Amino acid sequence: MGKHGPVKDEYAEDEAYCRDYLGIKNAKGLLARKLRELSTPVTEEGLLASPIHNGRFLVVDLETTGMKSDQANIIEVGAVEVDGFQLGRELSSLVNPGMPVPYFIQRLTGIHNHMLRAAPSLEEVLPSLEGMLRGRVLVAHNLRFDRAFLKRAWRDIWDMTLEGPAMCTLQLSRNVYPELASHKLDSLAAHLDLRPEKNGKNSRHRALGDAKLTARALIKILQKLSSEGVGTMEELLTLQSPRRKRKKAALPTPEEQTGEERS
């Protein structure tokens, strides 16, 4: 592994694939890797077996009208692809929740009822999110919260179960940085010397802004773990297990986690 990413030799198989199977002789480096990924369906088995510097993630953040997925609705979706140690495509959309947004949510997010009147429905936004998620690990900070809303959306709109590998950066932070007193997104970002952007949809407590901040934190964690010898995506996913012991205190169970931890 080079200091700033994969060294040239790591693209040799991708370049050979493009040359021998796709007939593209001049595809080099990262371009060759992208072309190979696009032409090769990614199975869950293949995804988990891949090295983390080739990992494929989709970092998602949702803003909602409340904390309970069976009572509240989504008002904004933000998603960012992470390919290895690189940020990829983004998705950002307000969502008409079909219900008023409580005042405290308006103050927290800056999303007001008038902004949502002409916004698309979740049924219109969800196909784009689902398309980005294919062949990727779903990632969120306090995954339990966001995945609960996504599971409900998959069930209500498509009568399907949301499946596939997923990772919680909150839990991962607890196990990778046990010395931190808090693992909230702001605390993790500060520890990693990351600063949130401060304009519009990229702001803190906006879906895209929080997804991008989480994605940047994820990359920092991936780089640290890669340098420490964590090899595959499957090994990475085991590091979020709550059964791993912290140095200072026992990890809380999911029931003990509070909604504040997603902030």
Q: Are residues 146 and 176 in the same domain?
A: yes
Ranges 35-49, 65-79, 209-223: which has the least confidence: 35-49
Ranges 40-49, 144-153, 171-180, 246-255: which has the least confidence: 246-255
Residues 6+ apart with CB under 8 A from 46: none
Ranges 20-24, 211-215, 259-263: which has the least confidence: 259-263
Residues 6+ apart with CB under 8 A from 80: 58, 59, 87, 88, 89, 90, 91, 208, 211, 212, 214, 215
Q: Are residues 12 and 77 in the same domain?
A: no
Q: Are residues 66 and 187 in the same domain?
A: yes
Phi, psi (deg, nearest 5) at residue 224: -65, -50
- CATH number of the domain within which 174 lies: 3.30.420.10
Catalytic residue among 4, 183, 191, 205: 205
pLDDT above 70 coverage of the chain, percent: 86
Q: Which of 6-10, 43-47, 101-105 has the highest mean pLDDT?
A: 101-105
**Residue 232 or residue 245, greater confidence:** 232
Q: Are residues 244 and 134 in the same domain?
A: yes
Q: Are residues 142 and 187 in the same domain?
A: yes
Q: Are residues 248 and 134 in the same domain?
A: yes
Q: What is the number of domains present in the chain?
A: 2
In whole angstroms, give the CA distance from residue 152 to residue 24: 43
Q: Are residues 27 and 53 in the same domain?
A: no
Q: Are residues 139 and 33 in the same domain?
A: no
Ranges 19-28, 134-143, 166-175, 240-249: which has the least confidence: 240-249
pLDDT digits (tens, 9 = 90+) for 121-180: 999 999 999 989 988 999 999 999 999 999 999 999 999 999 999 999 999 999 999 999
Range of the domain at 220: 48-262
Q: What is the pTM of this model?
A: 0.78
**Residue 166 or residue 16, greater confidence:** 166
114 is catalytic: no
Q: Are residues 82 and 60 in the same domain?
A: yes
Q: Are residues 26 and 64 in the same domain?
A: no
pLDDT for residue 22 is more than 80? no
Q: Are residues 11 and 74 in the same domain?
A: no
